[in-house]
Chains A and B, each alone.
Chain A
């Protein structure tokens, strides 16, 4: 699936926060905040970043097709989207990855602080650890901005 124009603008926006989820033991969902994401050149894969200590939440069992969901949500106006797909690969973050998500998280912390919240308290843990870049194939995307009729598939 090719990602829509609405999603392509988000990696560089600072007012969005991100969550990733997979399915753990007993078929129960497990989830964590993540630091940010980039869209790969083929426009069908995204790579998101998360602290190494939280990677076990998303880490696949070898030989299985791990299903993953990724949510992006604005902290200013509730605009939100969800991408679903499968795990493809992971690696330790490059310095370029770290520089990208660090700048973004710091700006988000600043926006939260401007809103009267302790942005560093909420998101600071995303900056303190070694981090992992996880690439997933995106099979479907949904708009989830709260409004009547929301939840439909996002297609250009």
Chain B
């Protein structure tokens, strides 16, 4: 199992196919939610966009290890990336960059008043599993 983001994965972070985030509550119940954007920071770190996130955020506070599934729109490879929460950014260069991307995504979907970035949730990549490789079950 890999634990670094590789160049072939980068198109999966361009926002073409929405990523889905899966967390676990203290009592062991999974929770899934679509998120607007997973942002590549470097090969060992990603940031996820926090917008609504009520149940998800509670779960992350209880259990900082979670999974995001991203799909490459070119190869149709689907990766499950296990992440651990590091910190939250509510301002600064990363926040501004993600805010601009979220605004562009929202504008494309006519949801400018709905998609509002609250924070950039910075995470460490713990492991990566390829679930679907080039459109086939791996």
Closest beta carbon of chain A to B71's beta carbon, Å:
7
CA distance A124 to B69 in the complex (A): 17
Question: CB within 8 A of B76: which of A23, A53, A121, A142?
Answer: A121
Q: Once bound together, how far apart are the Cα atoms of A129 and B115, in whole Å?
A: 37
List B contacts of A54 (CB < 8 A).
Answer: 131, 137
Q: A31 and B33: CB pair below 8 A?
A: no
Asked whether A151 lies within 8 Å of B30 as measured between CB atoms, the reply is no
Are B20 and A19 interface neighbours, CB within 8 A?
yes
B101 within 8 A of A: no
Contact with B along A92-116 (1 / 0, CB 8 A): 0000000000000000000000000
Contacts A122-B71, A125-B135, A128-B136 known; A27 to B28 CB distance under 8 Å? yes
Chain B binding surface SS class = strand
* CB-contacts of B23-41 with A (<8 A): 23-24, 28-34
* A21 and B33 contact, CB distance less than 8 A: no
Query: What's the least CB distance linking A80 to chain B, in Å?
Result: 6
| Contact residues in A for B6 (Cβ distance below 8 Å) | none
What number of residue pairs across chains A and B have CB atoms under 8 A from each other? 108
Minimum CB–CB distance from A20 to chain B (whole Å) comes to 9
Q: How large is the interface on A (under 10, 10 to 19, 20 to 34, 35 or more residues)?
A: 35 or more
* B119 sits at the interface (CB 8 A): no
The answer to whether A121 and B135 touch (CB under 8 A), given A28-B82, A29-B23, is yes
Q: Do B23 and A144 touch (CB < 8 A)? A: no
Assembled-state Cα–Cα distance A84/B33 (Å): 13
| A57 (CB) vs chain B CBs: closest residue | B131
Of A26, A121, A122, A147, the contact of B114 (CB 8 Å cutoff): A147
| Contact B55–A118 (Cβ < 8 Å) | no
Q: Write the B120-135 contact mask toward A (1 if CB under 8 angstroms, else 0).
A: 0000000000011001
Closest 3 CB pairs of A and B: A29-B22, A121-B76, A21-B30
